[in-house]
Structure 1
Amino acid sequence: MNKDWMKVFVAAFFEVFWVIGLKHAEDFWTWTGTVIAIFISFYLMIMAGRKLPVGTVYAVFVGLGTAGTVFSEILFFGEPFKVDKALLILFLLVGVIGLKLVTTDKVKEGGEF
């Protein structure tokens, strides 16, 4: 895995934090953390999209972020576990992994500052 795909995975990790923050932030510090997570998440996704296919980057970003958010809500916030929801998330992840596997890593030049 190259550094650009690693940016996508780290961006998805931060996406989980800001999505949870949008629901659970209550004071200045939690809102500040949410805004910082949004900035980091989108910055990394945009940087990865400069060299990788944008559609695939976005699909992987959203898919991993969705799965991470659903499982975080179950683990940390008491959301009930439902088998059908878990199976659908698993199906989503299979699609995301499939997109990653069939996407060539031809790095495009340009766009770097």
Structure 2
Amino acid sequence: MNWIILIIAGLFEVGFTLCLGKAKETTGNEMYMWYTGFLISLIVSMGLLMKAIQALPIGTAYAVWTGIGAVGTVLIGILIFKDPANFWRLFFITTLIGSIIGLKAVSH
């Protein structure tokens, strides 16, 4: 169950980076709505991370949380913000995913 909580926390980390990117593109009330989404996502992400590290090794949990955030943010950047998707970016994202799976596999 703690791994599921950690994965959800990582997804909320992706959410707060998405909100930051969208806030940068907007103005007025829409910008403030994106910043509100950022704050809510940040609070939920950190709260779930704190819950997950009560039962998981902190180093592994933090690495998995940031890895999910990094992979998700790169994918959001490519799919939504039209960031470049060249071979090397995709190669290193793939190795990061493999590292996250490996960390989970060797954690008790």
TM value normalised by structure 2: 0.90
Which one of the candidate residues 32, 36, 55 is aligned to 1:32? 36
Identical residues among aligned pairs (%): 35
- 8 Å Cα contact 2:14-2:73 kept in structure 1: yes
- 8 Å Cα contact 2:67-2:97 kept in structure 1: yes
Residue of structure 1 equivalent to 2:15? 17
**Which structure shows the higher helix fraction?**
2
Which one of the candidate residues 57, 62, 65 is aligned to 1:53? 57
Answer yes or no: is 1:99 the counterpart of 2:103: yes
State the distance in 2 between where 1:30 and 1:64 align: 21
Identify unmatched segments of 5+ residues in structure 1: 105-113
Identify unmatched segments of 5+ residues in structure 2: none
Residue of structure 2 equivalent to 1:109? none
Aligned residues: 102
TM value normalised by structure 1: 0.86
- 8 Å Cα contact 2:20-2:34 kept in structure 1: no
Measure how far apart 1:64 and its partner are.
1.0
Deviations 1:70-95 (A, max 9, x none): 01110111112111001001111111
Structure 1 runs (4+) greater than 2 angstroms displaced = none
Residue of structure 1 equivalent to 2:67? 63
Structural RMSD (CA): 0.9
State the distance in 2 between where 1:18 and 1:69 align: 9
